[in-house]
Structure formats: structure tokens, C-alpha cells
């Protein structure tokens, strides 16, 4: 039987996880940071394209407008 993982208890643990992920895989680390800071669900993050996050001048966008097909609503 699988056991549930433990929740992240504090900011130090969060920072440790982020650093481990960024060292092993920049992609995984950035996905983790995006998930933690945006509040998006994994399924929503996986739908994002690079152009949703990076503008035509290769700058990170300050906001992302996300449309949820299931509930027919926009989410920032």
C-alpha cells in the first residue's frame, strides 16, 4: 500500500526542494516554481505553451491568462 507524502512544512523545505529540482533539471525546477507561485493545477500547467509564459522579446510575462475549458472561465 502506498503512503501519502508529507506536506511541505515551511519555507526552508520549499527552498530546498526548489534547489534540488533546479540542480537536477531546470525544466522540473521551473515547473515547480510556476506551480507553487501560480496556484495552477498540474493539468493546467501542462497545457501551457512557452509562448504563454515568454513574450516575443523573450521576457517572462507578468501575468498569464488561462482559459479553463471545463468550467468555461478565465483564470489569471
pLDDT tens for each residue of 39-61:
888 888 888 888 888 899 999 88
Output the pLDDT for position 73. 65
Output the pLDDT for position 23. 95
User: pLDDT tens digits for 8-32?
Assistant: 899 999 999 999 999 999 989 988 9
Cα distances (angstroms) measured from residue 13 to each of 1, 3, 17, 47, 64:
26, 20, 6, 27, 27
The enclosing H or E element of 74 equals strand 73-75
Confidence (pTM): 0.67
Amino acid at each position: 500500500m502506498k503512503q501519502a507524502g508529507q506536506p511541505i512544512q515551511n519555507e526552508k523545505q520549499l527552498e530546498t526542494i526548489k534547489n534540488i529540482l533546479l540542480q537536477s533539471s531546470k525544466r522540473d525546477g521551473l515547473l515547480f516554481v510556476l506551480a507553487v507561485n501560480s496556484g495552477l493545477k498540474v493539468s493546467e500547467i501542462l497545457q501551457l505553451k512557452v509562448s504563454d509564459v515568454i513574450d516575443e522579446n523573450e521576457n517572462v510575462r507578468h501575468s498569464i491568462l488561462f482559459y479553463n475549458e471545463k468550467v468555461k472561465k478565465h483564470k489569471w
